[in-house]
Every structure is written in structure tokens, then in C-alpha cells.
Amino acid sequence: MNYRNILFDLDGTLTDPREGITRSVQYALAKLDIHEPDLASLEHFIGPPLLQCFMQTYHLSEARAWEAVNHYRDRFKVTGLYENRVFDGVETLLARLGEQGRTLYIATSKPTVFAREIARHFGFDRHFRRIYGSELDGTRTNKVDLIAHLLEEEGLATEDTLMIGDRKHDLIGASRNGLHGAGVGYGFGSREELLDESPDYYFASLDELTRAFG
């Protein structure tokens, strides 16, 4: 694990955003007169780009899905951002990586403005050189595009950089940009989903991931 640069996904990798995301999705759907009482059935919204998830799950047109995204953001930016928690052990991991002289980045499909506020509010922003997310207009919600942008902006060498995430989108984004990828099994992607992408590493728990860095 001799990588100088480590890219972290946010939702499901650093934090558990289950409550804030599912309640905000539920709120958005209700605004469209779609009622989903079971929050657990909305957990698949954690990780993928929201617009595509609304379109695919509820067969919405792009225009209608954008309405849902905007309703989602109305609640999320006020309440949902903070219905979140940092996974136990993340602080220890980030501190260890910093002590080892590695440079850390966040690479998330979540809009940058929300990702920065989450990192600030929960106090782990100090560990990261920079936080990269999407734009509110949907630009760079695709992890392939996002990671490509990050690599170019920071001038990172692919052989020195590792992407860590809990969904297939993180691993696809890594591999298509020539990076090694690590899937983590404590988030929201199943073991099968992650292993189907043939990651360079798979860590079932945060403790396993931490131990891998010595």
C-alpha cells in the first residue's frame, strides 16, 4: 500500500448518511405524489448520482427527475446534511494516513457544496487537501469524469494514487482512469457488487482497511 495519494468516496466510506439521504428522497417523492413509507427501500439511492437513480427507479423523465432532485435538495441542505454520522474508526484511519505523509482527497458524486459542509460540520475536513464533488447542474456526477478532473487538477500520477469506495461506481471510476481501486464492505454496496468489478483490494471492515496501512 505504497500510495502517496488516497482518494476517498464520502457516503458509505467515511460516513453513514442513511437517515439524511433516505428521508430527503422520501420527501422529494412525496412532493411528486409518490409515497414510499419504507426508508430501507430507498437505501439504493446512497452512492449513485441522484438524477439517474430517480429516473431509473421511478421511470421519470429527465425533467421530472430534476424536480425530484430539487425537492431533495430543499430538505437535504437544511436538515439531511446533518442526519449523518462518521463511521467509528475513520478518524483513526485518516490520522494514520496523514502521519504517514500521504495526501488525501475526497471524490464524491455529491455536490461539492454539500460535501464540504459535511466534512466541516463533522470535523474531518482538516485531513484532506481538497474535496472534489459534482456541480449543482449535474456536471461530474459520473465518477469517471470526477476522478479524471481531480487527477488533472492536482497533477497526480496514477501509479501513486488509490481510490477507496463502497459502490461499483467508485471502482469503475478508478479503473477507467488507470487507478488501483479498493472496495470496502462496510458501506452500501454488496460484496457481490464490488467483487464483480475485480477491485485490486477488498476490505470487509474499516478495521481491515486500517490494518492494511500498517
Q: Give the count of alpha carbons within 13 A of 166, CB side only.
A: 25
φ, ψ of residue 162 in degrees (nearest 5):
-125, 135
List pLDDT tens digits, range 153-205.
999 999 999 999 999 999 999 999 999 999 999 999 999 999 999 999 999 99
List pLDDT tens digits, range 68-108.
999 999 999 999 999 999 999 999 999 999 999 999 999 99
Query: Roughly what angle, to the nearest 10 degrees, separates helices 62-76 and 18-31?
Result: 130
Q: Where are the alpha helices (DSSP H) in the chain?
A: 18-31, 50-58, 62-76, 90-99, 112-121, 143-154, 168-175, 191-195, 206-212
Q: Are 181 and 174 in contact (CB under 8 A)?
A: yes
Average pLDDT, the chain: 97
Pairwise CA distance, residues 57 & 133, whole Å: 23
Nearest C-alpha neighbor of 46 from the set 28, 19, 66, 67? 19
- Percentage of residues in the chain with pLDDT exceeding 70? 100
- Residue 50, C-beta contacts closer than 8 angstroms, at least 6 positions apart: 68, 69, 72, 141
Nearest C-alpha neighbor of 142 from the set 48, 14, 56, 17? 48
List pLDDT tens digits, range 20-43.
999 999 999 999 999 999 999 999
Q: Determine how many CB atoms are found less than 10 A away from the CB of residue 148.
A: 16
Split at pLDDT 50, 70, 90, the class of 45 is very high
The DSSP code sequence of 73-131 is HHHHTTTGGGS-EEPTTHHHHHHHHHHTT-EEEEEEEEEHHHHHHHHHHTT-GGG-SEE
What average pLDDT does range 206-212 have in this prediction? 98
pLDDT at 47: 87
pLDDT at 68: 98
**Active-site annotation holds for 207:** no
Q: Are 191 and 185 in contact (CB under 8 A)?
A: yes
Residue of 9, 16, 166, 170 with catalytic role: 9
pLDDT at 103: 98
